[in-house]
Amino acid sequence: MHLKLQQYLIYTLYLTFLLSHLSYAKEPIVPLPQKPDYNEAKAQIGKQLFFDPILSRDRNISCASCHNFSYGGADKRTVSLGVDNRKGNIQSPTVLNARFNFRQFWNGRAIDLLDQAHGPLLNPKEMALSKEEITQRINASQKYKKLFKTVYHTDNITMDMVIDTIVEFEKALVTPNSKFDRYLRGEIALSPKEQEGYLNFKELGCVTCHNGINIGGNSFQKIGLFNPYPYSDAFPDRYSVTGKDYDKNVFKVPTLRNIALTAPYLHDGAAKSLKEAIIVMSFHNLGYRISDEKIAKIEAFLKTLTGEPPAILMDN
């Protein structure tokens, strides 16, 4: 009975999804723009701030400490460490292509990047500063005084300006021209293994939740839809936002772009490899134990989702 309901749910989800896509696209995944729009001058300041520990109380942590571009804009630790080595409470998601997520954070508590950026700066476990401390520090820096003046034409740098530049930098963090995007644009072919992996991804139903421009990032879904996944209220899930029981273990579906680079996986960092993440997903979210061969094919497909580093990270 239980399973039937779940199955019904997933098929309804699939159908709704198919119907909503039928009209304008034959593929459920859309390529990233090759030249994302953003304000270059602001983004260049945001870039400096992103890597600058000036924004943390102990001057040891920058955004890049937990969103490391050598690890796909994420953190290879299970949970990140903030000021004074304080442990965070959830795995750090990637900032790459985050602008295409319909909400920010695992539980979607920020509506967009602008709303999100205040979070880590003020979070006592992350950078742990107040607005006043931040603006004081930035206004005391000759370097930032000069940089902000060229863009905002003022000697008084406000918190809104600081956030504005960080957001413009994040908007530049787009990774175009992955093998898969080039395949979607008809420029190249996938290998037979990758192609079969993509077919499996669609046929098994992965695509019901992982679709669109970010191959995820556009809905909230439960981990453990078919087979329950361990629950702990230590993680900020949708339940922590809505207080509704059915929102326990519900998270924003993560993007699968650059997924080969961002281990470990899942909100609790429990899946150490891509293979493990695929096994968890197919068992807990679709109710299948799939063969090693299928897993390998899906993995080959997922590896085609790694894009080029954003242009803004290349010009040093």
Residues that bind ligand HEC (CB under 6 A): 55, 61, 63, 65-67, 80, 82, 88, 90, 92-93, 95, 98, 101, 104-106, 113, 116-117, 120-121, 126-127, 166, 170, 204-206, 208-210, 221, 223, 225, 236, 251, 253-254, 256, 259, 262, 265-267, 277-278, 281-282, 285-286, 298
For 38, residues 6+ apart whose C-beta sits below 8 A from its C-beta are 168, 169, 171, 172
CB of 244 vs ligand HEC, minimal distance in Å:
16
Tokens (6 digits) for 6: 């779940």
CB of 286 vs ligand HEC, minimal distance in Å:
5
CB of 9 vs ligand HEC, minimal distance in Å:
9
Compare residues 113 and 181 and give the one whose CB is closer to ligand HEC: 113
Compare residues 88 and 307 and give the one whose CB is closer to ligand HEC: 88
- Angle (CA) 288-213-283 rounded to 5° is 10
Tokens (6 digits) for 156: 């008084």
CB of 174 vs ligand HEC, minimal distance in Å:
13
Compare residues 181 and 267 and give the one whose CB is closer to ligand HEC: 267
Tokens (6 digits) for 232: 């702990």
Check if the beta carbon of residue 299 is closer than 8 Å to that of residue 197.
yes
Compare residues 157 and 266 and give the one whose CB is closer to ligand HEC: 266
Compare residues 43 and 256 and give the one whose CB is closer to ligand HEC: 256
Neighbours of 306 (CB within 10 A): 18
Listed residue (215, 224, 216) closest to 286, CA to CA: 224
CB of 311 vs ligand HEC, minimal distance in Å:
18
Compare residues 61 and 186 and give the one whose CB is closer to ligand HEC: 61
- Measure the CA–CA gap between 118 and 93, rounded to whole angstroms: 16
Q: Residue-wise over 44-80: b if at least 16 C-beta within 10 A, else e?
A: bbbbebbebbbbbbeeebbbbbbbbbebbbbbebbbb
For 180, residues 6+ apart whose C-beta sits below 8 A from its C-beta are 29, 190, 198, 301, 304, 305
CB of 235 vs ligand HEC, minimal distance in Å:
8
CB of 280 vs ligand HEC, minimal distance in Å:
8
Compare residues 116 and 218 and give the one whose CB is closer to ligand HEC: 116
